[in-house]
Amino acid sequence: MLPEHHVQLTSLIQSALAGILPDARPEITLERPKIAAHGDVATNVAMQLAKAARRNPRELAQQLVAAIGADPAAKALIQQAEIAGPGFINFRLTPQAHQAVLDAIAREAEHFGHRPANTDKVMVEFVSANPTGPLHVGHARQAALGDTICRLFAAQGAQVTREFYYNDAGNQIHKLAISVQARARGIGPDSPDFPEDGYKGDYIQDIARDYLAGASVQASDGPPIQAAGDIDDLDAIRRFSVAYLRHEQDLDLQAFDLKFDNYYLESSLYTSGRVEKTVQALIDAGHTYEHEGALWLRTTELGTGDDKDRVMRKTDGGYTYFVPDVAYHVSKWERGFHQAINIQGTDHHGTIARVRAGLQGLGLGIPKDFPAYVLHKMVRVMRDGAEVKISKRAGSYVTLRDLIDWVGRDAVRFFLAQRRADSEFVFDVDLALSHSEENPVYYIQYAHARIHSLLSQYADGVERVDQMDPSSLTAPSEIALLQRLAEYPGVLTQAALELAPHQLAFWLRDCAADFHAWYNAERILVDDDALRNARLRLAKATAQVISNGLGLLGVSAPQRM
């Protein structure tokens, strides 16, 4: 979604081109110049068209500027237009054009920047942790990225479903069960009799204690599981342990204020026959072969970029881990989610081509780039100047709950969404707790609180501010802030399109900086009633948009700090 003045300016450029180059159909792009002195909006359309039209780009730009200036509709929008460099056109907009965003913010309030609801169905699958322990910082990063992407798509009008895929089958679950069994028998994690590579965190002892006590546990989407208390019943231990940890992960997610719409169990892919059906369909389609007692998928022939064929069914009859993933994504497609996004760690990179190859081999009309992936890199945690690697609760890693306990949910959500997913990130606990402009959460929330402090001093009533005449907002710092607010709808659209929550985080930091710069440059509660009221209106609009943006990150917007 473009700012209204961008839409108007694009229309003016198109009208001017229709009279100069009637056959031209350019893609008109408008950008904000990096240097404010160069104007408010720039376009390279003259340079884009000059070669095909056999024209000098500067001369074509000059002709365009003249034609736009002659259009009566340009008067209220364009204050000045000039040619720069080899043919860029720089426009300086009128104050009225900048001020118009205040009407849109007042009218749309918390929905400013949002698009109307549509029929697009989007599934975002994220966190998807094995039910073998507490959620760690990698899961926390997925939670922050995934939930913000969901909120961004919802703001674009899409119907969004959050799904958690539980890997509740396989060797990791067996390892969990025998670890709990060992602790129930009184075997400590340091004992030579403890299972090799078993889980050693304190939470294993907690599960064993509750199992022996006959406790009952219930995950958010499952029936209560009663502990049998029988140390020798490994299957009962497994069922109880999985339900126990799913419940613990539910509590972690509640602390993060994250609720999933659906939970999907890997085990159901086997019990429902989906895995067998998928494998048989690939065999029937001729995309498999037997070699050395194993069943292979011809992934190299299915156009997804895999460098070698892959084993589907091992010599012992078990399936490799990408096979249920293929069956699972068929389920997504059949449920009508033709736009599916997976948030996973970079260690899953190798499975992308295999899963997509399996989907292509089924001949269901699934696009080659389905599903889309956002792969995130690792998170390191620093506290008191040193890296933190151990959590007593988990045994070998920092948990999501640790982070929330240390710095609060707001900081965890913002910090983990503020960097590109494919960049490694250092979570600095000390920075997240600091009350300084280096802490982006504090800096942005402080801007919002400062505005509400201003508004509380307005005796005539805050609700009347939106009706005030903004025409006196002409100072450079005011124009810069108005421009920033007008960018917000486009930032949401671009962040959703590129699956890039960090773009919103960057924008919020820039918006807060523009507000603080304006606050320091201009007195707001001046004696001039018209100017004071206009500035209060700008301040209130800024608070509204900051609150909107923080909300999409799942971060609060306090009115006092």
The phi-psi region of residue 344 (left if phi > 0; otherwise alpha if psi is between -120 and 50; otherwise beta) is: beta
User: What does the pLDDT average to over 119-133?
Assistant: 95
How would you class 228 by CB atoms within 10 Å of its CB: exposed for 0-12, middle for 13-18, buried for 19 or more?
middle
Task: Give the position of tokens 């209560």.
Answer: 224
According to the model, what pLDDT value does residue 2 have? Answer: 57
According to the model, what pLDDT value does residue 351 have? Answer: 92
How would you class 75 by CB atoms within 10 Å of its CB: exposed for 0-12, middle for 13-18, buried for 19 or more?
exposed
List pLDDT tens digits, range 11-31. 999 999 999 988 888 889 888
380 vs 220, higher pLDDT: 380
Residues of the chain with CATH 3.30.1360.70: 4-93
- How many other CB atoms are found less than 10 A from the CB of residue 340? 21
Model confidence at 387, pLDDT cuts 50, 70, 90, reads: very high
Q: How far apart are CA 434 and CA 452, in angstroms?
A: 22
Beta bridge partners of residue 82, listed in sequence order: 90
Residue 463 has pLDDT above 80, yes or no: no
pTM listed for this prediction: 0.91
Q: How far apart are CA 152 and CA 554, in angstroms?
A: 11
Residue 109 has pLDDT above 60, yes or no: yes
Share the mean pLDDT of the chain.
93
According to the model, what pLDDT value does residue 219 have? Answer: 85
According to the model, what pLDDT value does residue 38 have? Answer: 83
**Least-confidence region, from 173-182, 436-445, 459-468:** 459-468
According to the model, what pLDDT value does residue 350 have? Answer: 87
Rg (C-alpha) for the chain, rounded Å, is 29
Beta bridge partners of residue 376, listed in sequence order: 345
According to the model, what pLDDT value does residue 439 have? Answer: 98
According to the model, what pLDDT value does residue 1 have? Answer: 53
**Fold exhibited by the domain 4-93:** Gyrase A; domain 2 (3.30.1360)
Tell me which residue of 108, 102, 104, 97 sits closest to 12, measured CA to CA: 97
User: What does the pLDDT average to over 458-473?
Assistant: 79
According to the model, what pLDDT value does residue 511 have? Answer: 98
User: What does the pLDDT average to over 369-378?
Assistant: 96
With b meaning 16 or more CB within 10 Å and e meaning fewer, what string describes 271-293? Answer: eeebbeebbebbbeeebbeeeee
Model confidence at 391, pLDDT cuts 50, 70, 90, reads: low
Residue 394 has pLDDT above 90, yes or no: no
499 vs 201, higher pLDDT: 499
Residue 395 has pLDDT above 70, yes or no: no
CATH code of the region 435-552: 1.10.730.10
End-to-end CA distance of the chain: 33
The phi-psi region of residue 214 (left if phi > 0; otherwise alpha if psi is between -120 and 50; otherwise beta) is: left
According to the model, what pLDDT value does residue 153 have? Answer: 98
Residue 258 has pLDDT above 70, yes or no: yes
C-beta of residue 148 within 8 angstroms of C-beta of residue 488: no
List pLDDT tens digits, range 283-322. 999 999 999 999 999 999 999 988 899 999 999 999 998 9
* Residue 164 φ/ψ, nearest 5 degrees: -115, 120
List pLDDT tens digits, range 516-531. 999 999 999 899 989 9
How crowded is the C-beta side of 388, counted as CA atoms within 13 Å? 23
Residue 175's contacts (CB-CB under 8 Å, 6 or more residues apart) are 132, 195, 197, 198, 199
191 vs 35, higher pLDDT: 191
Model confidence at 462, pLDDT cuts 50, 70, 90, reads: low
Residue 261 has pLDDT above 90, yes or no: yes
- How many other CB atoms are found less than 10 A from the CB of residue 170? 15
Model confidence at 33, pLDDT cuts 50, 70, 90, reads: confident
Residue 385 has pLDDT above 80, yes or no: yes
Model confidence at 466, pLDDT cuts 50, 70, 90, reads: confident
Residues of the chain with CATH 1.10.730.10: 435-552
- How many other CB atoms are found less than 10 A from the CB of residue 529? 10
Share of the chain above pLDDT 70, in %: 98
Residue 265 has pLDDT above 80, yes or no: yes
Model confidence at 504, pLDDT cuts 50, 70, 90, reads: very high
Enter the tokens of residue 106. 């007042």
Q: How far apart are CA 69 and CA 151, in angstroms?
A: 41
DSSP state of 195: P
List pLDDT tens digits, range 152-210. 999 999 999 999 999 888 788 999 999 999 999 999 999 999 999 899 888 999 999 99
